[in-house]
């Protein structure tokens, strides 16, 4: 092990080697600095992108906690509207008893065939309470034309990509067919009230949005939704809030699944 004098000698040798060829030393030092800065920049960029992706997944798809009928996930690809959450407002009132809950979003997801000028288009519908969505998809700030649909009216908001594909704009009307909760076909004509464009490009292709009460009439779902998303004030309390909400809903008389985002294998693996 070098003594204090030995360390000083090594220091002098290092300085002498550096000064022996200043150009080479400067080039070597510059290369090290550039490489270090590049690595730091890349890690910062990746972590920033992952943070944005995580926020998008929370706000658009899963929430921090998602409540569904316990059988819904098993048949999700079949659009099982009958596997629903009944009397959803009472469920929301219960959820809000947890002090860590920031916001809730009741939703109905469904598929539809859209008819316009003798052509058939495929769309993915999301029925929401637009007043509750400011903490989730924030439609108002992503609106590029028109206005948000009004509750109870046959109005829809169309994503920019779908509007372009169909050649429609605000004020136009379309006819839509979808499977109802009772497995029959249901049809209705809607007016385009607005066009929306999100930062997530995949949500600008096939999606359309309507008031939740309008969708309940269209799909014959009474006072039901297919899912409720929950955002928390503090994500570190995820485990406790999940357990707390399960306890709050235990006596509700419905087979509900209260799942934290960490249990959604695909999304969890992408984020982590």
What's the pLDDT score for residue 268?
A: 44
Contact present, 228 and 86 (Cβ < 8 Å): no
What's the pLDDT score for residue 241?
A: 97
What's the pLDDT score for residue 200?
A: 78
- Reported as a single tens digit per residue, the pLDDT across 144-153 is 999 999 999 9
Task: Quote the Cα angle for 16-22-23, to 5°.
Answer: 150
- Reported as a single tens digit per residue, the pLDDT across 2-38 is 555 555 566 676 666 666 666 766 777 777 777 777 7
Q: Between β-strands 155-159 and 185-196, what pairing exists: parallel, antiparallel or unpaired?
A: parallel
Tell me the CB-side half-sphere exposure of residue 73, using CA atoms within 13 A: 13
Sites in the chain below the pLDDT cut of 50: 267-270
What's the pLDDT score for residue 7?
A: 59
């Amino acid at each position: 092990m070098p003594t204090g004098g030995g360390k000083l000698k090594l220091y002098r040798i290092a300085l002498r080697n550096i000064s022996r060829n200043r150009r080479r030393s400067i080039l070597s030092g510059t290369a090290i600095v550039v490489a270090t800065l590049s690595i730091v920049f890349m890690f910062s960029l990746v972590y920033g992108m992952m943070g944005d992706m995580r926020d998008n997944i929370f706000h658009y798809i899963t929430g921090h906690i998602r409540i569904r009928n316990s059988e819904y996930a098993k048949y999700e690809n079949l659009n099982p509207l009958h596997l629903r959450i009944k009397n959803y407002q009472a469920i929301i009132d219960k959820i809000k008893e947890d002090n860590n809950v920031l916001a809730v979003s009741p939703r109905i997801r469904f598929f539809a065939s859209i008819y316009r000028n003798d052509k058939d288009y495929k769309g993915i519908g999301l029925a929401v309470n637009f007043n509750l969505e400011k903490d989730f998809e924030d439609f108002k700030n992503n609106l590029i034309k028109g206005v948000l649909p009004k509750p109870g009216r046959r109005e829809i908001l169309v994503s920019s990509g779908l509007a372009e594909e169909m050649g429609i704009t605000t004020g136009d009307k379309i006819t839509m067919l979808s499977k109802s909760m009772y497995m029959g076909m249901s049809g209705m004509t809607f007016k385009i009230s607005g066009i929306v464009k999100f930062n997530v490009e995949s949500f600008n292709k096939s999606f359309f949005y309507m008031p939740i009460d309008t969708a309940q009439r269209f799909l014959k779902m009474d006072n039901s939704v297919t899912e409720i998303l929950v955002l928390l004030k503090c994500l570190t309390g995820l485990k406790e809030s999940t357990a707390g909400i399960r306890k709050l809903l235990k006596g509700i008389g419905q087979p509900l699944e209260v799942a934290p985002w960490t249990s959604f294998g695909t999304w969890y693996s992408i984020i982590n």
